[in-house]
Amino acid sequence: MTGTEHVVAPERPHQGGWGEPATRAQLWRIADDLRRRAGFGICAIEVRRSDDMMEFVAIATDDPAARELEGQSSPLDVMYPAVELGEAVGVFTFVAWEAMSQEAWERIEPYVVVPDGKITGDPLAWHPQDMLVARLMDASGRLRAFVYLDVPDSGRRPTHGDLLAMGADLDVGLQAVITTVEREEYAAGIRLATGARAVVRSAVSRHGLTELLRVASEELLRSFRAQLLVVDVFGETLVVHPEASVGLPEPSLHAAVQASARACWAGQRVLLMDGTRVWGDDALDAERGDELVAYLAASGLGEVVVVPVGAGDEVLGMLVIARAAGRAGWTDDESSAALDVGHDLGRAILNARASQRERKAAEELRRVDDYRAGLIATLAHELKNPIGVVSGHAEMLASLADVEGLPPAALVSLEAITRGADRLATLVEDLMTLSKVGDPARELDAVPVDLRRLTSTVVEQAGLAAAQGGVTLVGAMPPDPLLVLGDESSLTSMVTNLVTNAIGYSDAGGGVRVSLWRQGDDVVLECADEGLGISAEDQARLFTEFFRSSNTEALGRPGTGLGLTITKRVVERHAGRIELESELGVGSTFRVLLPVAEPPEALVVTW
């Protein structure tokens, strides 16, 4: 049922959508071998595409006019009613024209051609409307292709025995058809899936939407073997690769294609333009099809495929893939892969946008933090001198009081001024220290520091304050130095804050123990007290700037709320960590772990 006498058919879906040219040529060679071995004038192979359309991919015949059906496609269910009316013998089914119902014929008529042939009236003679077809199934039982044989050399209809013998004789060739079809689809899937995976990988490794789209366009240009690739994120970014290779259509035409891409996303289909029309959107073809075809011709493009890009129900943009005139046509496997890429690219775009928002928010937080740190440093610097003046005059008044005497009320005020000035001076010192240790741009001038010596000095200096408060202070130091790399001034602030806090929040009769030892690759500093302890609620915010305990008894003790914040930042700047164990009413244990610095090898002198 192929040949030169054409029946007018309704408009078909886009043609030539299956397989590479080399694969189609290989199937033609198989078809030519099958027809010669079977003794027929025509052998046609019709392949099932991934969109469930059947396409004639190879027609072997000595009559060139009979090959006009190549590339034509039809719905999968068109041929079934006719085939079911025939006699099935093995892989082949023979349908005599007189067995064909009117309904079945009307279904297939638009998609076939009837060869020239004489009608003799002999019931054993081949009729031009007879049909001989082999249904080729894969291992799972899925239809992969139809193989048609037409115009027998003998001019006779095949008998039951002929069909059995033909099936056995042509078995290898028919299996070769299935193998070739499966290999082509597998190769296309691998090639296109690789490109799709590259898009996803680029989404993870790229910073910024424009960079993501640039890398993705390069990968997809290779995967789809295109001349031009455009990624259009609606209202945001337009990436053309290669740059300036082909001009874009005028704005209103471009907007019409964008609108069509939105509709394609809802239907999960692609839009295809070739030298004849627009496929996939009849309205666009009717309204702007001539302009788009003219644009392709003027740009030297053979086919342009528009792939909607989105995620969920949201259409984000479109991917435009263009091939030069004369290149291989777009296949249905590529359409399926392109739709997958549209989904992957949509998710990648959303991820890139989220990353951009996160980076922008992080940059804004850094700016705010830098401003805050600068403000704190400025305030601390500006307050230092006035506080020094107040303290100096308070000392002068105190010395005058010793010599000349002051009224009792004045002495009370003087003591309050002195306490307030001392507290402000401590706050300013803490603010300046916090500004220094909290500045990420400030490089750490790290040198080997003996933490044993430093801690022993701090414990010794804090001994008087501990004794005045009735607190027993004990230092448990190792016999040998314990070196860490760091800034000695910052480390001194860290140890001092821990020890003075432990003393300050301990009652008379309590004890504080400061211990130091090496544990693996760390030096461990532990400061344990038997003081007020810290509630679980307060522990969660303990290292926050200016945090003061919710414990009313603790609030009565002096403090700026910055000591532990400074301690934590010093520890972090020295690549260490700080741990806390505490129970309200029992006491607290702070544990700092800092990387050990090995002492330099001893200098060996030989004489």
Domain identity same for 480 and 382: no
Do 127 and 242 fall within a single domain? no
Q: Give the model confidence (pLDDT) of 207-230 as tens digits.
A: 577 777 777 787 788 778 788 888
Token duo for residue 543: 């290292």
Report the pLDDT value the prediction gives residue 566, as an integer from 0 to 100. Answer: 83
Long-range contacts of 538-545 (CB under 8 A, 24+ apart): 539/580, 539/582, 542/580, 543/567, 543/568, 543/578, 545/434
**In whole angstroms, how far apart are CA 435 and each of 336, 374, 428, 491, 576?**
58, 8, 10, 15, 19
In a domain, 73, yes or no: yes
Contacts of 249 (CB under 8 A, 6+ apart): 257, 291, 292, 295
User: What would the two tokens of residue 192 be?
Assistant: 């296109």
Q: What is the pLDDT of residue 36?
A: 94
DSSP string, 261-305: HHHHHHHT--EEE-SS-EES-HHHHHHHHHHHHHHHHHHTEEEEE
> How much is the average pLDDT of 246-267?
89
pLDDT (average), residues 341-353: 85
Q: How far from 384 is each of 371, 372, 450, 565, CA to CA, in Å?
A: 20, 18, 31, 21
Residue 606 covered by a domain: no
- Once rounded to an integer, what is the mean pLDDT over residues 25-47? 94
pLDDT score recorded for residue 330: 77
90 three-state secondary structure: coil
C-beta of residue 224 within 8 angstroms of C-beta of residue 334:
yes
Residues 268 and 405 in one domain: yes
Q: Does 486 lie in the same domain as 394?
A: no
Same domain? 417 vs 486:
no
For residue 176, what are the domain limits? 5-184
Q: In the listed set 383, 411, 441, which residue is the last one of a domain according to the structure?
A: 441
Based on the domain organization, do 491 and 569 belong to the same domain?
A: yes
The alpha carbon torsion through 540, 542, 543, 544 (nearest 10 deg) reads 80
Q: What is the pLDDT of residue 31?
A: 95
| Torsional sign, CA 565, 571, 573, 576 | negative
Can you give the pLDDT at residue 381? 63
Number of domains in the chain: 3
| 595 Cβ neighbours under 8 A, 6+ residues apart | 484, 485, 521, 522, 523, 574, 575, 576
Tokens of 417: 């001024």
Q: How would DSSP label each residue in 17-30?
A: -SS-HHHHHHHHHH
* pLDDT of amino acid 121: 78
Length of the chain, please?
607
Asked whether the predicted pLDDT for residue 7 surpasses 60, the reply is no
Co-location of 262 and 120 in the same domain: no
Q: Which pLDDT band, with edges at 50, 70 and 90, does 242 fall under?
A: confident
- Residue 155 · residue 125 · CB < 8 Å: yes
* pLDDT tens-digit map of 296-326: 888 888 889 999 999 988 999 999 988 887 7
pLDDT at 56 over 50: yes
Do the beta carbons of residue 71 and residue 16 sit within 8 Å? yes
- For the ranges 79-83, 91-95, 426-430, 542-546, the maximum mean pLDDT occurs at 91-95
Cα 207 to Cα 251: distance, rounded to the nearest angstrom = 30
Which DSSP letter does residue 156 get?
B
For 259, the token pair is 């609108």
Burial class of 79 by CB neighbour count within 10 A (0 to 12, 13 to 18, 19+): buried
Tell me, what's the pLDDT at 2?
Answer: 42
Cβ(302)–Cβ(327) below 8 Å: yes
Amino acid at 321: I
Domain harbouring 588, CATH code: 3.30.565.10
| pLDDT at residue number 561 | 65
- 156 shares its domain with 101: yes
In this structure, are residues 499 and 458 in contact, taking their beta carbons and an 8 Å threshold? yes
pLDDT at 328 over 70: no
What confidence tier does 510 reach under pLDDT thresholds 50, 70, 90?
Answer: very high
CA distance 459 to 514: 8
> Is pLDDT at 559 greater than 70 in this prediction?
no
pLDDT digits (tens, 9 = 90+) for 117-149: 777 778 899 998 899 999 999 888 889 999 999
Residue at 360: amino acid letter: K
- Give the C-alpha separation, 584 to 107, whole Å: 87
Of the residues 184, 219, 236, the one at which a domain ends:
184
pLDDT above 60 (res 15) = no
Q: Which residue has the tokens 């010093």?
A: 570
What distance lies between CA 313 and its chain's CA centroid? 19
Q: Which residues contact 336 (CB under 8 A, 6 or more apart)?
A: 50, 51
Please report whether residue 317 resides in a domain: yes
237 neighbors 213 (Cβ within 8 angstroms)? yes
Consecutive H or E run containing 406: none
Domain assignment present for 547: yes
CA distance 473 to 506: 11
| CA dist., res. 389 & res. 360, Å (int) | 44
User: pTM higher than 0.95 for the full model?
Assistant: no
In a domain, 198, yes or no: no
pLDDT computed for residue 184 by the predictor? 84
Instruction: Write the DSSP symbol of residue 604.
Output: P
Written as six digits, the tokens of 233 are 């994120």
* pLDDT for the residue numbered 205: 54
Alpha-carbon span 449 to 452, nearest angstrom? 9
Buried-exposed string 205-215: b where 16+ CB fall within 10 A, e elsewhere? ebeebeebbbb
Give the model confidence (pLDDT) of 444-480 as tens digits. Answer: 678 999 999 999 999 999 999 899 999 999 999 999 9
- Residues near 380 by Cβ (< 8 Å), separated by ≥ 6? 428, 431, 432, 435
% of the chain exceeding 70 in pLDDT: 81
pLDDT of the residue at 50? 72
Say if 82 falls within a structural domain: yes
Q: Is the pLDDT of residue 424 over 60?
A: yes
225 and 283 share a domain?
A: yes
Mean pLDDT of 535-552: 74
Give φ, ψ of 41 to 5 degrees: -80, -25
Q: What is the pLDDT of residue 435?
A: 64
Residue 9: which pLDDT band, with cuts at 50, 70 and 90? very low
Does a structural domain hold residue 197?
no
Whether residues 437 and 521 fall in one domain:
no
Residues 532 and 412 reside in one and the same domain? no
Considering the domain architecture, whether residues 266 and 394 belong to the same structural domain is answered as yes
Residue 394 lies in a domain: yes
The pairing of beta strand 577-583 with beta strand 511-519:
unpaired
Closest CA to 14 of 249, 212, 278: 278
C-alpha pair distances (Å), 248 with each of 233, 298, 313, 580: 15, 11, 27, 64
What is the average pLDDT across 360-385? 72
**What percent of the chain lies above the pLDDT cut of 90?**
33
Would you state the pLDDT for residue 605? Answer: 38
Neighbours of 450 (CB within 10 A): 16
Rounded Cα distance between 141 and 318, Å, is 37
User: Which domain-ending residue is among 412, 441, 470?
Assistant: 441
DSSP letter at 596?
B
Instruction: Tell me: pLDDT of 177 over 90.
Output: yes
**The CATH number of the domain where 227 resides is what?**
3.30.450.40
Q: Which two tokens stand for residue 435?
A: 């500004």
* The pLDDT of residue 331: 75
User: How far apart are alpha carbons 596 and 449 in whole angstroms?
Assistant: 10
Q: Are 82 and 135 in contact (CB under 8 A)?
A: no
CA atoms of 116 and 3, how far apart (whole Å): 7
Helices 171-205, 332-404: axis angle to 10 degrees equals 20
